[in-house]
Structure 1
Amino acid sequence: MVLPALTEGSFQRKHLSSSLFFPSRDKTLPPIAAATDDSASDLLAHVRRSHLLQLFAALLQPTQLAATLASPGPFTLFAPCNAAFAALPREFLRAMMADPRMAAAILSHHVSPDVLQAGDLGRCRVRTLRGDRVCTFAESSGPRYGAGRITAPSVNARNGVLHILSEVIIPEGLGLHRRSAGKPAAVAHA
């Protein structure tokens, strides 16, 4: 089944079905063992190959960021898993799908031009390709990137390192406001 109100030839129809884009709202996070270390492949190849990152890969496809993740780097990619995207309000997800520039702004907030292994992610502020800084810190349950928990740390690639993240980190000003309890409150279309 394809998302309603999509036009022929649109990005959504070409790349996503509603079952992929709106998977069940199960909050179960993927197991750490699901990510495999392959330092011969680039970050883009890792993303495209991983069943945990299908939504990230689909959103990445129409952006310039895809070419960036295939370039020499080095980079650190904090890639939100499918469950992280499924936890976003559907209207916000639809807005990301309809606007590759919005998707690129959000996804580039998950890429650093520095190589950071899990052990490097104590209390620090990571510089992103978008130009922002995201706080990282270590907890007993593992490292965190912003509000997201790193569920599969330090997957090495030819041009950097990949960490699979439990949450999509939305930069300020891109339309998703959060209540103090951490639940999405409203979507303002950018």
Structure 2
Amino acid sequence: MVAAAVAALGFAAGCAGPPERPDSAPPFGPGCSAVPRSGMGSFAEMSGDPVVTAASHLPMLTEWVHAVHEADMVATFDRLDHLTVFAPDNAAFARLPKDQLHQIYQDKDQVSKILTYQIVGHRVAPAELPDGSFTTLAKGTLTTRRSGSGYQVGDAKVVCGNIRTGNAQLYITDRVLTPPP
């Protein structure tokens, strides 16, 4: 049920959202050093792949990719256009208590809600991050702000941001963002 609603909302948001703006700012953040300089998983290679496919080539996002598979949302996220994905890295998932993570994965609807809460229906450029407020595909609101030399989304730090994929702007975070109860 959530996946169908997200597909409809996301497709409409992707098509009806603001036009895509070119953004020549390079990827940024301390976690970007873990991205290969060339070949599979490099910034250049990811720019041609849809977001889940691109993320699947990054060792730091294996748990996020696993969550997308658990929610049966790979095709949904890979076919939508003009998204911004705030994807938690593996360390973010590791911070969750194992029993909580297990419980989340047992409830496909809950996984879907968490994932769609981390996705905005248009591309967010770094210039919009210092004082941003964005509606997510889960109809929640994420706020972003400057924090020292980097950015935060909610209580999560962006560890590598402004990664361009074929259909999304990807920001890797250090926390799993969850919708308010």
**Category of TM-score, reference length = shorter chain:** 0.7 to 0.9
* Alignment check: 8 A CA contact 1:40 1:157 kept: yes
Letter in 2 for 1:150: V
Q: Is residue 31 from structure 1 mapped to residue 31 from structure 2 by the alignment? A: yes
Deviations 1:85-129 (A, max 9, x none): 110122210111111111111111111101012232111111111
Distance (whole Å) between structure 1 residues aligned to residue 57 and residue 161 of structure 2: 17
Distance (whole Å) between structure 1 residues aligned to residue 172 and residue 60 of structure 2: 8
* Alignment check: 8 A CA contact 2:70 2:105 kept: no
CA distance 1:64–1:129, shift in 2 (3 Å): farther
Q: Is residue 57 from structure 1 mapped to residue 59 from structure 2 by the alignment? A: no
Distance (whole Å) between structure 1 residues aligned to residue 155 and residue 162 of structure 2: 18
Number of aligned residue pairs: give it.
145
**Which structure would you say has the larger Rg?**
1
Distance (whole Å) between structure 2 residues aligned to residue 64 and residue 130 of structure 1: 16
**TM score, norm. by length of structure 2:** 0.75
Q: CA shift at 1:64, angstroms?
A: 4.3
Q: CA shift at 1:72, angstroms?
A: 3.9
Percentage of identical aligned residues: 23
Distance (whole Å) between structure 1 residues aligned to residue 154 and residue 121 of structure 2: 17
Distance (whole Å) between structure 2 residues aligned to residue 116 and residue 57 of structure 1: 21
Long gaps (5+) in structure 1: 1-28, 174-190
Deviations 1:46-69 (A, max 9, x none): 121110011111111032432222
* Alignment check: 8 A CA contact 1:151 1:166 kept: yes
Q: Which residue does 1:107 correspond to in 2? A: 115
Distance (whole Å) between structure 1 residues aligned to residue 67 and residue 80 of structure 2: 21
Deviations 1:162-185 (A, max 9, x none): 110010111112xxxxxxxxxxxx
Distance (whole Å) between structure 1 residues aligned to residue 178 and residue 163 of structure 2: 23
Q: Which residue does 2:138 correspond to in 1? A: 130
Deviations 1:133-167 (A, max 9, x none): 11100122301111100000111011121110010
Long gaps (5+) in structure 2: 1-28, 36-41
Q: Which residue does 1:97 correspond to in 2? A: 105
Q: Which residue does 1:44 correspond to in 2? A: 52
* Alignment check: 8 A CA contact 1:59 1:100 kept: no
